[in-house]
Amino acid sequence: MRHVQRRARRVGAALAAVLTWAGLLTGCSSDGSGPLGMGGGPGRPPAAEDVIRVTPGDGGKAVRPGERLRVRVPGGRLEKVTAVREQDAQTSPVPGRISDDGLTWRPDEDRLALAARYTVDAVALDSHGRRAARHTTFTTYVPDERFIGYVTPENRATVGTGMIVSLSFSRDIADRAAVERAVRVSARPPAEIRPHWFGRSRLDFRPERYWKPGTEVTVDLDLRDVQGSPGVYGLQDRTFAFTVGRSQVSLVDAAKHTMDVRRDGQLLATVPITAGAPKHPTYNGKMVVMDMLEVTRMNSRTVGFGGEYDIPDVPHAMKLTDSGTFLHGNYWATQAPGEANVSHGCVGLVDVKGGSSDTPAGWFFDRSLVGDVIEVVHSKDRTVAPDNGLGGWNMGWKEWKAGSAVK
């Protein structure tokens, strides 16, 4: 008899437990008062993926940057959405906002990062007031090919007022408008700065006139994951900055064999020069100092000539064009400056072997900056091309602006 009673008690306890769990489960799916706090409404709660729709889909791989991250509900409203991005071993939040009607969340930045893992957590109420939560992840496409932009001038440089911001891309760019939109050049004090494309791999920026001394210029490259050509994406997300120093513009008169050096509009000195000989005249027009070398080798074969010269130790050399025009010290034809034009297109100033600050070439070199302007007049050659070095100042403003890919 005792055995039967004990068995009856065990059955009763088990039944009570079943009823208790049934009550808890009922509470979870009815009035929201159960321990899990899942919202109220009639019937069984729907699956979370039916209440909260996330695109790209959960578990997605190699998601292309053209797809858009969205969280939405067909009815009810979103309560909270949190998204994070893991990229290059760093985790960062993805800011966004829920629409006024509560049906959609979208990120502030539509473009998905490449080679990244996204995690999305969302909480919403369905149309019956039942709460649901969803956790999804997806990874984005990892491109095989990337491009970068090499920026002139160098970061934190102090430059002359003629400096042009020039980006040389490591690959040809097919979608020039997309790349152009991802580059921003700004100035303080403000100036109107416009871009101009030279071919498919070079993008230059300049104001209408030379920079004002003291201007601070910032170059923002937001190129990361921008598709420059089919299957080729940008790599950089970086900021460069430089400062414009004093104004120095020097006027070379090839007919008079002189150069007037002006600092902030005032004449500092007039120095004798030799320009290109009749068979090899110097370009006319505005050229910008691109590089400054205490000493360099000059070999005629590297610039398209024969074996006319090979000088291993040219002093005080300042590069003016990509095609090989320099302003430099000349110690081998010291009688020519001020008297005759004997060079192969360069501008020569009196100097001594090994260079000296006491010579006209050394004096000028010590007072020059990358970005200074050298303008040549009265030479018997054409005007230097705008894309030969930083020759963009030889192009009119209207034509310059027409070179933008963003219309």
**Which amino acids are annotated catalytic?**
328, 346
Report how far residue 348's alpha carbon sits from residue 358's, in angstroms, rounded to the nearest whole number: 16
SS3 370: coil
Report how far residue 354's alpha carbon sits from residue 138's, in angstroms, rounded to the nearest whole number: 63
Q: Tell me which residue of 336, 314, 334, 335 sits closest to 326, measured CA to CA.
A: 314
Report how far residue 300's alpha carbon sits from residue 290's, in angstroms, rounded to the nearest whole number: 20
- CA contacts within 13 A on the Cβ side of 73: 30
Residues sharing a CB contact under 8 Å with residue 218, sequence separation 6 or more, in sequence order? 185, 186, 187, 188, 239, 240, 241
CA-based end-to-end distance of the chain: 97
- CA contacts within 13 A on the Cβ side of 134: 26
SS3 6: helix
Report how far residue 273's alpha carbon sits from residue 23's, in angstroms, rounded to the nearest whole number: 101
- Where b means 16+ CB within 10 Å and e means fewer, 362-392 reads bbbbeebbbbbbbbbeebebeebbbbbbbbb
Report how far residue 131's alpha carbon sits from residue 46's, in angstroms, rounded to the nearest whole number: 10
- CA contacts within 13 A on the Cβ side of 338: 8
Six-digit token string for 201? 């791999």
Report how far residue 394's alpha carbon sits from residue 367's, in angstroms, rounded to the nearest whole number: 24
Q: What's the length of the chain?
A: 407
Q: Tell me which residue of 58, 50, 53 sits closest to 118, measured CA to CA.
A: 58
Q: Rg (Cα) of the chain, in Å, rounded?
A: 35
Q: Quick check: 236 and 169 in contact, CB under 8 A?
A: no
Q: Quick check: 245 and 159 in contact, CB under 8 A?
A: yes
